[in-house]
Amino acid sequence: MIELKDLRYDYRNGPTLSFADLSASAGCTLLVRGASGAGKSTLLALMAGLLTPTAGQVFVDGIDVGALAPRQRDAWRGAHLGFVPQRLHLSEALSVRDNLGLPYVCAGEPVQPARIAEVLERLGLQGLAARRPHQLSVGQAQRVALARAVLRGPSLLLADEPTASLDDEAAAEALRLLIELAALSRATLVLATHDARVSQALPDAQLLQLNRAPACSA
């Protein structure tokens, strides 16, 4: 379950972003829509505990994420969150397989090769495990980032513009996989997008429409 209450984020040298109150039940799909610059990525970063609200709260399954101390926040993120960011942040120095070991290393847990192999296979990536990210297509790299996000069975799966730079076929496949993998983890799925194809593909998703931030004098 996700709740936003009086949520606001002020960028030091940028706009003030205010978000409407929201309640989204566990396991639902939430579509965060809005024009470029409306604050979609900022909202996802607040939900992920990567930014701290200037005012108000983000509750995920009853936890006030912004109120957690940095160490608690890291632990919470490792245990509950899967994030497919807009820029995928795959390590170029590592193979696909080793990129998928990183979530375990970050959580201070032993890498689980069997789980990695299972997720690679589910995403049709088993033949690409030894490649480096620059040897992948855009769609394949997206799937590796999705694999990394779902490895540890998150209860909250965030995806920032998951269909950007994908053609229609790859975009449909990325959405299908996101929905399938979120359902497998019984995760709440939050998709930030300005891609009309996503809204069309998910007519039953709960909508959060963001308005463009007012112009800023900074």
Ligand X SMILES: Nc1ncnc2c1ncn2[C@@H]1O[C@H](COP(=O)(O)OP(=O)(O)OP(=O)(O)O)[C@@H](O)[C@H]1O
Buried b (16+ CB within 10 A) or exposed e, 55-81: ebbbbbeebebbebeeeebeebbbebb
**Smaller CB separation from ligand X, 40 or 97:** 40
Residue 14 lies near ligand X (rule: CB under 6 A): yes
Q: Which positions from 159 to 198 touch ligand X by CB under 6 A, shown as an x/- string? A: -----------------------------------x----
What CA–CA distance (Å, rounded) separates 23 from 20?
10
Under rule CB under 6 A, residue 53 binds ligand X: no
Type of residue found at 19: F
| Residue in 164, 211, 215 with CA at minimum distance from that of residue 18 | 211
Q: How far is the CB of 191 from ligand X (least distance, A)?
A: 12
Distance CA 142, CA 2 (A): 25
Of 19, 39, 148, 205, the one binding ligand X (CB under 6 A) is 39
- What is the C-alpha to C-alpha distance for residues 57 and 8, in angstroms, rounded to an integer? 8
Quickly list H helices, 48-167: 70-80, 96-106, 113-122, 138-150
- Region from 39-47, 63-71, 92-100, 139-147 binding ligand X, contact rule CB under 6 A: 39-47
Cβ atoms of 213 and 25 within 8 Å: the answer is: no
Residues 6+ apart with CB under 8 A from 60: 1, 2, 47, 80, 155, 156
- Under rule CB under 6 A, residue 213 binds ligand X: yes
In the bound state with ligand X, the residue whose beta carbon lies nearer, of 49 and 101, is 49
Q: Which is nearer to ligand X, 37 or 139 (CB)?
A: 37
Q: Which of 2, 4, 15, 166 binds ligand X (CB under 6 A)?
A: 15
Decide whether 43 or 181 has the Cβ nearer to ligand X: 43
Q: Which stretch binds ligand X (CB under 6 A): 35-43, 72-80, 118-126, 137-145?
A: 35-43
**Rule CB under 6 A: which residues touch ligand X?**
11, 13-15, 34, 36-42, 194, 213
